């Protein structure tokens, strides 16, 4: 008997999450995606991309990850003679699996909906699958506190903004300058269902990030 979509939704599952599991009896794939369980406590001042990557690396190692190269899903703007960096160009080619072995996306096109078919099907990133490195669920819309805002600085296709506006809190080095473009890991709120580009923060301080429903959390991907 087929499960209806409404029943799957009630269970917090999607068809993609069902079929993305490892084959029965096989060991789960090693974790290659997670949301950071803690922020750095300095708002969007992450110490640049290097500091953000180090946070991903540290938490992954503490959780026993066998992956050695982790990058935060963050874009930066062109500045001081340095070119812009696209978040999608920093994370490898996939596939990516969460801490419990479920596949989040098979490749970059799947993750970002690059093709009509990929966009129609959607990736498998949701509150039911986007766990921390410890395998814990991250609070989302309707929870107390709501912490679904994820720092990305990115457009929906995973690229950096080129409009001259600061969407990255001075390339992730400031808690006072600019704003941060945010995604929602639970695909809820903000007028759309984007996991990586829903709305801008009120500012870059820890207080401003918390006030819009976040805690300076990051998406981390293993290359």
**In CATH, what number is assigned to the domain containing residue 135?**
3.10.100.10
Structural domain includes residue 19: no
Q: Which of 14-28, 146-160, 175-189, 208-222 has the lowest mean pLDDT?
A: 14-28
Structural domain includes residue 15: no
What integer best gives the mean pLDDT of the chain? Answer: 90
| Per-residue pLDDT tens over the stretch 155-191 | 999 999 999 999 999 999 999 999 999 999 999 987 8
The whole-number pLDDT of residue 223 equals: 87
| Per-residue pLDDT tens over the stretch 94-130 | 999 999 999 999 999 999 999 888 888 889 999 999 9
How many domains are there within the chain? 1
Structural domain includes residue 10: no
- DSSP for the chain, please give it: -PPPHHHHHHTT--HHHHHTSPPTTSPPPPP-EEE-SS--SSTT--SHHHHHHHHHHHHHHHTT-----EEE---B--BTTBPPB-GGGSS-S--EE-TTS-EEESSHHHHHT-SHHHHHH--S-STTT-BBTTSPBPP-TTSSS---EEE--B-TTS-B--SSS--BHHHHT-SSSS-BEEEETT--STTS--SS-SEE-S-SSHHHHHHTTEEEEEEEEE-
Where in the sequence is the domain holding 218, given as residue range(s)? Answer: 28-222
Structural domain includes residue 9: no
- Pairwise CA distance, residues 213 & 201, whole Å: 9
Structural domain includes residue 23: no
Structural domain includes residue 8: no
- Pairwise CA distance, residues 99 & 188, whole Å: 22
Structural domain includes residue 197: yes
Structural domain includes residue 83: yes
């Amino acid at each position: 008997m087929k499960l209806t979509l409404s029943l799957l939704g009630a269970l917090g599952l999607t068809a993609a999450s069902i079929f993305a599991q490892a084959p029965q009896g096989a060991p789960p794939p090693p974790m290659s995606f997670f949301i950071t369980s803690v922020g750095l406590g300095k708002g969007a001042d992450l110490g640049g991309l290097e500091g953000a990557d180090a946070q991903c690396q540290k938490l992954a190692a503490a959780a026993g990850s066998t992956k050695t190269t982790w990058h935060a899903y963050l874009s930066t703007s062109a500045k001081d003679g340095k070119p812009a960096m696209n978040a999608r160009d920093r994370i490898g080619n996939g596939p990516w699996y969460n801490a419990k072995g479920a596949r989040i996306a098979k490749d970059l096109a799947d993750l970002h909906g690059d093709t009509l078919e990929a966009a129609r099907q959607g990736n498998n990133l949701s509150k039911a699958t986007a766990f921390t490195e410890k395998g814990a669920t991250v609070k989302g819309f309707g929870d107390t506190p709501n912490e679904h805002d994820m720092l990305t600085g990115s457009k929906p296709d995973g690229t950096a903004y080129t409009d001259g506006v600061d969407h990255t809190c001075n390339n992730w080095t400031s808690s006072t300058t600019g704003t941060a473009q945010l995604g929602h890991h639970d695909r809820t709120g903000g007028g759309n269902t984007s996991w990586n580009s829903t709305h801008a923060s009120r500012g870059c301080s820890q207080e401003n990030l918390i006030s819009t429903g976040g805690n300076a959390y990051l998406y981390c991907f293993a290359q």
